[in-house]
């Protein structure tokens, strides 16, 4: 049998899991994972997972007196392995999350802890845009084209040092873009690369009956372009660009979408949809996403800076955005069926 075939990949990972945790493992990837009944779920994601890594994880879990009660393999592809472990025990989430972040880095895997009840499809998913749904920081790209890239970068660094807040830095950066033409924006929009997995994740969310929103400190011009051409998005809230004679004025139209406003918008959309916050998730990469990441059932830091990873409830680093689907109680077969993909 080909060692890279899905059957071989699954059998190998199942053997590793059974050896490390002494829990029953399905012989093949089922249509749906088992129901979650434990108070906690720990999801392991990696390009490959070996017995030694799982044994060290099992030792860590045992030392903290957490009790594994069920184990599912959610993915067993050549480039992606995902294992979900249901846990019982007195887990202090904040401390456990940081300890698992450190352990995952030492083992070369990603470890995502969440309450068992959050292993379900959300009803509302809120996303940052720049460096989350797209592979760019739009304002930085515009500044480079306008010839003020270094000046904008210095303002960004000043904000990161705490010398300016987001609103102050945003106003300063926008002032430097005065005169940038709307025609140039129209040329740039189609060239902005979509984040891997973004389209697949948003299509899956829509198929699950989940509404989605872009809550961005970037621009409605680009967020609307994404919604109209690439991404299955229901709501857009971002900063509006002010034009005069077909060019940017350099002024800012209030209110500016900063971290506090993202959190407020998430709550307002949830209320309008008659949803509780435990039916909402948020995904972002920056410090100004942390307020909204702290509100919902899941707050996923995606390809984020170390500080954001350390503070966000959950984090995904080495995979595309669609890896978030494994945190909703889905495996590869369920995802493929949802998207009508061939397996």
Asked if the structure places residue 311 within a domain, the reply is yes
The radius of gyration of the chain from alpha carbons, rounded to an integer in Å, stands at 21
Task: Based on the residue annotation, tell me whether 130 is a catalytic residue of this protein.
Answer: yes
User: In whole angstroms, what is the distance from residue 204 CA to residue 321 CA?
Assistant: 11
Any domain includes 239: yes
**What long-range pairs does 97-101 form, CB within 8 A, spacing at least 24?**
97/313, 97/314, 98/310, 99/60, 99/64, 100/42, 101/309, 101/310, 101/315
**Does some domain include residue 186?**
no
As a whole number of angstroms, the distance between CA 201 and CA 339 comes to 10
Same domain, 233 and 111: no
Based on the fold, state whether residues 228 and 84 are members of the same structural domain: no
**Residues 127, 58 share a domain:** no
- What's the CATH number where 315 sits? 3.40.50.1000
Higher pLDDT, 342 or 224: 224
Catalytic residue among 128, 285, 322, 332: 128
Res. 1: pLDDT tops 60: no
* CATH code, domain with 67: 3.30.70.260
In a domain, 37, yes or no: yes
Range of the domain at 223: 120-137+195-343
Percent of the chain with pLDDT over 70: 98
For residues 50 and 86, membership in a common domain is answered with yes
- 128 among known catalytic residues: yes
**226 and 339 co-located in one domain:** yes
pLDDT at 158 over 80: no
Last residue of a domain, one of 84, 119, 154: 119
- Total structural domains in the chain? 2
Examine the domain organization and report whether 113 and 215 are in the same domain: no
C-alpha dist (Å) from residue 296 to 118, 182, 201, 241: 10, 36, 18, 29
pTM over 0.85: yes
pLDDT: which is higher, 206 or 157: 206
Domain end call among 67, 89, 119: 119
Q: Specify whether 289 is located in the same domain as 309.
A: yes
Residue that is last in its domain, among 119, 148, 176: 119
Answer yes or no: do 98 and 235 share one domain. Answer: no
For 192, the token pair is 């902005």
Quote the pLDDT of residue 285: 93
**Residues 323, 324, 330, 336: is their CA dihedral positive or negative?**
negative
**Same structural domain, 112 and 127:** no
Q: What is the pLDDT of residues 88-122, one digit of tens each?
A: 999 999 999 999 999 999 999 999 999 999 999 99
pLDDT band (50, 70, 90) for residue 157: confident
Q: Are residues 212 and 322 in the same domain?
A: yes
Catalytic one among 79, 90, 130, 285?
130
Q: Is 338 part of a structural domain of the chain?
A: yes
């Amino acid at each position: 049998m080909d060692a890279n075939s899905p059957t071989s990949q699954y059998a190998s990972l199942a053997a590793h899991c059974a050896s490390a945790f002494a829990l029953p493992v399905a012989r093949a990837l089922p249509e749906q994972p088992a129901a979650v009944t434990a108070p906690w779920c720990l999801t392991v994601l990696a390009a490959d997972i070996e017995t030694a890594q799982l044994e060290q994880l099992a030792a860590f879990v045992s030392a903290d007196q957490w009790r594994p009660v069920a184990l599912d393999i959610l993915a067993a592809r050549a480039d992606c392995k995902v294992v979900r472990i249901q846990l019982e025990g007195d887990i202090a989430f904040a401390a456990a999350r940081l300890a698992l972040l450190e352990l995952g880095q030492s083992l070369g895997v990603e470890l995502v802890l969440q309450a068992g009840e959050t292993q379900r499809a959300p009803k509302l998913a809120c996303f940052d845009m720049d460096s989350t749904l797209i592979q760019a920081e739009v304002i930085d790209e515009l500044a480079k084209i306008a010839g003020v890239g270094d000046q904008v970068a210095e303002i960004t660094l000043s904000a990161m040092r705490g010398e300016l807040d987001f609103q102050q830095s945003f106003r300063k950066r926008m002032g430097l873009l005065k005169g940038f033409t709307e025609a140039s924006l129209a040329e740039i929009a189609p060239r902005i690369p979509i984040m891997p997995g973004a389209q697949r994740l948003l299509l899956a969310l829509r198929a699950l009956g989940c509404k989605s929103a872009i809550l961005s400190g970037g621009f409605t011009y680009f967020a609307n372009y994404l919604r109209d051409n690439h991404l299955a998005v229901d709501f857009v809230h971002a900063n509006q660009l002010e034009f005069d004679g077909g060019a940017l004025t350099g002024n800012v139209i209030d209110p500016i979408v900063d971290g506090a406003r993202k959190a407020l918008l998430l709550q307002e959309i949830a209320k309008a949809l008659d949803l509780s916050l435990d039916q909402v998730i948020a995904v972002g990469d920056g410090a100004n996403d942390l307020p909204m990441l702290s509100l919902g059932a899941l707050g996923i830091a995606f390809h984020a800076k170390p500080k954001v990873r350390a503070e966000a409830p959950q984090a995904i680093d080495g995979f595309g955005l669609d890896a978030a689907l494994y945190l909703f109680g889905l495996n590869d077969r369920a995802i493929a069926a949802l998207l009508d993909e061939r397996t």
